[in-house]
Structure 1
Amino acid sequence: MCGIAGMVGQPEPRLLRAMARVMAHRGPDDEGVWSDDTAGLAARRLKIIDLVGGHQPMANEDEGCWLVFNGEIYNHRELRARLESKGHRFRSRSDGEAILHLYEEEGDGCLQQLEGMFGLALWDRGRRRLLLARDPLGIKPLYYRERDGRLAFASEAKALLLDPACPREPDLPALAAYLTLLYVPSPGSAFAGVEKLAPGHLLVFEGGRARVSAYWRPRPPARLVTAPGEARERVRAALGESVARHLVSDVPLGVFLSSGLDSSSIVALMRRHAPEAPIRTFTLDFEEASFGEAPAARAVAQACGSDHREFVVRPQVAQLLPELVWHLDEPLADSSLVITHLIARLAREHVTVALSGIGGDELFLGYPRHLGARWAARYARLAPAPLRSLVARLAGSLPDSSRADDPTGRLRRFLEAGPLEAPERYLAWISFWNAPALRELLPGLPPGSDPLAGHRARLVEALAAARTGAGAAAAVAALDLATYLPDDLLMLGDKMTMAASLELRVPFCDRRLVETVWSIAPGLRSGPGLKPLLRHAMEPLLPPATLARPKRGFSLPLARWLRGPLAELAADLLSEARLRRRGLLRPAPVVRLIDEHRAGRRSHADRLFALMVLELWQQAFWDDWPARRRAVFAAVDAAPRGGFPG
């Protein structure tokens, strides 16, 4: 695992070293910088495969191609054997070197052969051509900036901001999308002029111009699997193969274990594929009973014979938030970011790699809103529009629940969106501010901005092809797979684990597994409950109690904490005086949210947390940035040339 950076067009070695230095947490084991008169590459490395070799940037035999690479290629041994049979000579055992030789054979088509997670940059010196690529599901991030015939890229946006020519001004439409969704969708970023390469996309930069295109997207095959038994066997086999691929490592690895189906499936399949190997599992717990998962996770660990450790999360996590927002680069208000970082810190004391169940919900229809899409289709058929409109007005009186699953709040949102057409209904469910509220909150938003335009276009197309309630559920899950998964869950997963110098692997985000699931009829993937296909597939390997356990969200008890131990922090970050000095948000709606939440009239926990993260982001990248930038360059200048500033 690494942090990579580089530029094409007047490369600056000092800036390249600084770009690597600011990402030292991503690679504490090694640093490398290379440049010629046209391009420069930099990397920080966390050693996972080939602990002796694998230094980056790396070159092919004649140094005509240079590579920096963040991630893991799980089929690198198979690729290496094939390439060596064609006469290619390898200098190391690293997985990255296979990319170089595969590019020599197949050009950009090499991306179709890579099984794993990656953000990569390959400079072809002879053609004066840069190739950037991001893995199909978007597990590893990759930012870039193109301006005046030059291009710079990095694993983290803060590395690009070190260039004084790179603006730090916020992109207001991107911030509107953030406030709506709690994350910034690709290909935009929170910084004007900085973009994210979308999952499954490549960028070619030559002749002073960038060209972006998709090289992969999941598509259903010509013939769908319709037999339940065959579907279960295919899923169990594909997931088992993915877990086996994700165990390739030269360092110890473990698993983030909750009480849920996804991480339990990973542990069970690890034990099946490596019956004698040690398994280390890690779980977080809460004092609030409805959020805690430790007893059930402990039972799974005992059944699989893992070396298990637990950690209790308390409200003192507020002290961590400024540091975590710095590592995020962009505002992202999923409270599971705190939990992810804390469990990563716990795991890093024992392992260098951890597996996670991220992606199981999007792939196997695991969110209540996926079930809601199926129910909503029936509700619209059975209840006439005037009745649904009346029920929507009455539903506003339903209170929020302090429970992790918030059943009454979900019911209210379901009924309030009842009169809407299918696309707008689902977009309402995943939105935290509607259009009028957003314009009241963000007065500088340009007219005509629509933060949901990209989501709406994807969803309309997917729903148009859905003929049943099951198809509708699969369609909205496909939207989540393309948006929420990479831009929220995988983004925070990468940033929060890399902040602890831990590599995160996600077996559910495997291209082959996705293609297998996409080959199964929607009616078999959707059912009366959540994740029916995965539950049936794992019946031979998991105990009934695990299979029957209801879903629990991976989040903090924010609603309660914001009325108690975090209330003071919220009041400080969102004070009326501070908001007026910033000038970004209108204070009145923020004050109203705080008052309603404190009084218990409504839970605004997610909205308040989003505003708190936004303020901390402004502090990190507006207020504190000049001092941070000076410190990075001072560290670079103090290190011996060619040295390794840790």
Structure 2
Amino acid sequence: MLAAEGLSPADMQVQATDAGMLATSHPACSTATDLSAGCLAAVLGRPRWPDAALAARAQAEGAAAAVLAAWRERGEAALEAMQGNFALVLIDTRQRRVMLAVDRTGTERLCFAQVGATLVFSTSARAVARHPLVSAPVNQQALYEYLYCHMVPSPDTAFAGIAKLLPAESATFNGQGLSRRFYWQLAYDTRGDGDDAALRQRFLDLTEQAVARQTDDIRPTGAFLSGGTDSSTVSGMLGKVSGQPAATFSIGFDAQGFDELEYARITSRHFGTNPHEYYVTADDVVEAMPLIAAAYDEPFGNASAAPTYFCARMAREHGIEVVLAGDGGDEFFGGNERYAKQGVFEHYHRVPGIFRKLMEPVVMNFPLGASIMPVRKARSYIQQARVPLPDRMETYNFLHRSPLADIFEPEFLAAVDTERPLELAREAYFRCASSEPIERMMHLDHKITLADNDLRKVTRMCEAAGVAVRFPFLDDDLVAFSGLLKPEQKVHKGRLRVLFKDALRGFLPDETITKSKHGFGLPFGLWLNEHAPLKALAEDALASLGRRGIVKPEYLAYLRREHATAHASYYGVMIWVLVELELWLRANAPAGAA
């Protein structure tokens, strides 16, 4: 057997043998066989081919047939001819070779494990782990990474010996060894060709094209609408390309500082959408927390998965089968506030080294400096600026607030590499084709924030709700365009998404352009003190987690005290992460065996 795959019927299931047979149980998977060449292919997703001949082949015979045609002509370079979102398995029985690949932005996923001369692969890490040839236990290292990142960052998975592909990565297996490579990287070769007006128009044209590509001609299509710039743009463009009011779906919270439905209403009135709203309650969260733990093949701690699920479910209840989401605009056009903040610290490294050597001892050793506001601020600035990127971005990580020995049980701590999350971040940061810190941070966020986190959140919750989701801002032409912009056209003097927002002035309401970023934030921390069923769920989960030999019971008690007495929203984030871990472990590892 060259390749075998996992067990869950909901996942992409492909199995190839020396006899050259291919089977798949995923209803959205395209398969093809070329007996003359001894090749078999399976493709999940919505790939696209700029090459006219390959596009015609895909239209006539299916995506997998186009993959085989490209493979015959170009070999592994066939991947460079593919765009769109896809997970690909190609098996060449004559060369005894299996190739796995996922799309450039990591919208789809593939996980795999090598067991001797066999490769087991699936869209689900849990399916691979449960294959009888694998039988992988939960990986303690991954649990540490989860508590650090609030998800398990690729290439690691929650199960020992199982890996997952990164965006734009392929893996080739020949029955003996496995090699991995990146077949695409965002280029930054040309900088801002044309004047700003032409670039702004080009952005608008590409955004409209991207939304048109993701709008379904057959199935009813709607859009998530948080009221932010991204979702508002997608909602407005959906109405424009469809020629009718877009069906939009928005979530609210009955908690001060969390509800932003008014911004969604501003967008809806501006574009004349057909709006739908739902207020998430604490009872909804009690329902959602075990649902989230069961839905993901790895522990997943992003609390906004809950409102995402209810928003997607509302769309399905109103007859929508495809929903468009605004994810990706921040990571490719400079929308995260930390880009501007970290840019301030990067200015320090432009000061000549000789001046820094003279200045630092004076500031750091200034008499009574801790009690003098300007000196105290200068010390804090220097201390933070000294930490290089990307490590500086994790300075405020929750696990850095206390010594790790106070958080974790000794045996667990001794078994894990606490530097692994930062090593993964450094790899993505320095792999960027640009040397500009802003663009390197965006490249890191493409991998960590987008592919490992936000896309997993939205796609899995939409699947659980019974709708398909698509991401116009991840359109390949739009992503490539982002690489043509100068860094200052993305972030400049504290302004975020400079060209992006300038291009949308006049299209979006002014209030949308100027509002601060929020998204589907969840008042879990506040509700945890007020809602008895939610409090009971959390306390039961934390007590159970404290017996697993991972996190010390004393630390869990400390978190609950701090949450109950002050900073409920802040400490509520970590409590959510820990409760979801326990709920996930209950389904995937017996107590004491994590």
TM-score normalised by L of structure 1: 0.80
1:589 pairs with 2:560: no
Q: Matched residues in 1 for 2:19 and 2:141: separation?
A: 37
Q: Matched residues in 2 for 1:113 and 1:618: separation?
A: 41
Query: What residue number does 2:426 align with?
Result: 456
1:608 pairs with 2:590: no
Query: What residue number does 2:275 align with?
Result: 308
Match of 2:2 among 1, 8, 26: 8
Q: 1:558-599 CA deviation, whole Å, 9 max, x = no partner?
A: 221222223322211112xx2453112222222111111111
Q: Pairwise mapping of residues 264-343 of structure 1 onto structure 2 (< 5 A)?
A: 264-274=232-242, 276-277=243-244, 279-316=246-283, 317-343=285-311
Q: How many angstroms does 1:606 deviate by?
A: 1.6
Q: Matched residues in 2 for 1:510 and 1:104: separation?
A: 26
Partner of 2:248, secondary structure, is: strand
Q: 1:438-495 CA deviation, whole Å, 9 max, x = no partner?
A: 34323323365412112134446769933xxxxx333322211122211011122222
Match of 1:372 among 341, 356, 361: 341
Q: How many angstroms does 1:188 deviate by?
A: 0.6
Partner of 1:433, secondary structure, is: helix
Q: Matched residues in 1 for 2:121 and 2:280: separation?
A: 36
1:21 pairs with 2:15: no
Match of 1:182 among 135, 150, 174: 150
Q: Matched residues in 2 for 1:117 and 1:75: separation?
A: 11
Q: Is the 8 A contact 1:258 1:293 kept in 2?
A: yes
Q: Matched residues in 2 for 1:101 and 1:185: separation?
A: 34
Q: Pairwise mapping of residues 233-252 of structure 1 onto structure 2 (< 5 A)?
A: 233-252=201-220
For the structure 1 residues 98 and 441, does the alpha-carbon distance in structure 2 shift closer, same or farther, using more than 3 Å as the test? same
Q: Is the 8 A contact 2:124 2:297 kept in 1?
A: yes
Q: Matched residues in 1 for 2:434 and 2:219: separation?
A: 47
Q: Matched residues in 1 for 2:158 and 2:416: separation?
A: 18
Partner of 2:500, secondary structure, is: helix
Query: What residue number does 2:400 align with?
Result: 434
Q: Matched residues in 1 for 2:86 and 2:444: separation?
A: 22
Q: How many angstroms does 1:255 deviate by?
A: 0.8
- Aligned partner of 1:454: which letter? L
Q: Is the 8 A contact 2:327 2:454 kept in 1?
A: yes
For the structure 1 residues 419 and 116, does the alpha-carbon distance in structure 2 shift closer, same or farther, using more than 3 Å as the test? closer
For the structure 1 residues 122 and 463, does the alpha-carbon distance in structure 2 shift closer, same or farther, using more than 3 Å as the test? closer
1:44 pairs with 2:26: yes
1:498 pairs with 2:463: yes
Q: 1:50-87 CA deviation, whole Å, 9 max, x = no partner?
A: xxxxx754334758432222211244894545559xxx
Q: Across the two proteins, how many residue pairs are aligned to each other?
A: 569
- Aligned partner of 1:196: which letter? K
Q: Pairwise mapping of residues 630-645 of structure 1 onto structure 2 (< 5 A)?
A: none
Q: How many angstroms does 1:43 deviate by?
A: 2.9
Q: Is the 8 A contact 2:154 2:452 kept in 1?
A: yes
Q: Is the 8 A contact 1:423 1:460 kept in 2?
A: no
Of 472-481 and 511-520, deviating more is 472-481
For the structure 1 residues 266 and 447, does the alpha-carbon distance in structure 2 shift closer, same or farther, using more than 3 Å as the test? closer
- Aligned partner of 2:85: which letter? M
1:423 pairs with 2:386: no
Q: 1:100-158 CA deviation, whole Å, 9 max, x = no partner?
A: 33333322222212221011112223333211110011011111111212111111122
1:120 pairs with 2:113: no
Q: Matched residues in 1 for 2:102 and 2:161: separation?
A: 19
For the structure 1 residues 344 and 545, does the alpha-carbon distance in structure 2 shift closer, same or farther, using more than 3 Å as the test? same
Q: How many angstroms does 1:304 deviate by?
A: 2.3
Q: 1:371-417 CA deviation, whole Å, 9 max, x = no partner?
A: 2112333578899657589999889xxxxxxxxxxxxxxx9xx9796
Q: Matched residues in 1 for 2:370 and 2:451: separation?
A: 35
Query: What residue number does 1:161 align with?
Result: 129
Q: Is the 8 A contact 1:369 1:429 kept in 2?
A: no
Q: Is the 8 A contact 1:134 1:140 kept in 2?
A: yes
Q: Is the 8 A contact 1:356 1:506 kept in 2?
A: yes
- Aligned partner of 1:206: which letter? N
1:621 pairs with 2:588: yes
Partner of 1:623, secondary structure, is: coil
- Aligned partner of 1:476: which letter? M
Q: Is the 8 A contact 2:322 2:470 kept in 1?
A: yes
Matched-pair identity in %: 27
In structure 2, runs of 5+ residues without a counterpart are none
Q: Is the 8 A contact 1:226 1:521 kept in 2?
A: no
Q: How many angstroms does 1:287 deviate by?
A: 0.9
Tell me the C-alpha RMSD between the 2 structures: 3.4
Query: What residue number does 1:254 align with?
Result: 222
Partner of 2:119, secondary structure, is: strand
For the structure 1 residues 257 and 454, does the alpha-carbon distance in structure 2 shift closer, same or farther, using more than 3 Å as the test? same
Q: 1:243-279 CA deviation, whole Å, 9 max, x = no partner?
A: 22212543221111110000111122223333x2452
Query: What residue number does 2:502 align with?
Result: 536
Query: What residue number does 1:110 align with?
Result: 78
Q: How many angstroms does 1:241 deviate by?
A: 2.2
1:548 pairs with 2:542: no
Q: 1:511-538 CA deviation, whole Å, 9 max, x = no partner?
A: 2222211111101111333322211111
Of 382-391 and 202-211, deviating more is 382-391
Q: How many angstroms does 1:508 deviate by?
A: 1.2
Q: Matched residues in 1 for 2:267 and 2:418: separation?
A: 48
For the structure 1 residues 265 and 314, does the alpha-carbon distance in structure 2 shift closer, same or farther, using more than 3 Å as the test? same
For the structure 1 residues 134 and 457, does the alpha-carbon distance in structure 2 shift closer, same or farther, using more than 3 Å as the test? closer
Partner of 1:285, secondary structure, is: strand
In structure 1, runs of 5+ residues without a counterpart are 1-6, 47-54, 85-89, 396-410, 467-471, 627-646
Q: Matched residues in 1 for 2:214 and 2:164: separation?
A: 26
- Aligned partner of 2:528: which letter? L
1:66 pairs with 2:66: no
Q: Matched residues in 2 for 1:358 and 1:436: separation?
A: 33
Q: Is the 8 A contact 1:392 1:419 kept in 2?
A: no
1:572 pairs with 2:572: no
Partner of 1:132, secondary structure, is: strand
Q: Pairwise mapping of residues 348-497 of structure 1 onto structure 2 (< 5 A)?
A: 348-349=316-317, 350-378=319-347, 385=360, 418=384, 420-423=386-389, 426-429=392-395, 431-434=397-400, 437-442=403-408, 443=410, 444-445=412-413, 446=415, 449-450=418-419, 451-459=421-429, 465-466=435-436, 472-497=437-462
Q: Matched residues in 1 for 2:428 and 2:31: separation?
A: 38
Partner of 2:301, secondary structure, is: coil
Q: Matched residues in 2 for 1:34 and 1:461: separation?
A: 34
Q: Matched residues in 2 for 1:441 and 1:205: separation?
A: 40
Q: How many angstroms does 1:420 deviate by?
A: 3.8
Q: Matched residues in 1 for 2:288 and 2:397: separation?
A: 27
- Aligned partner of 1:308: which letter? P
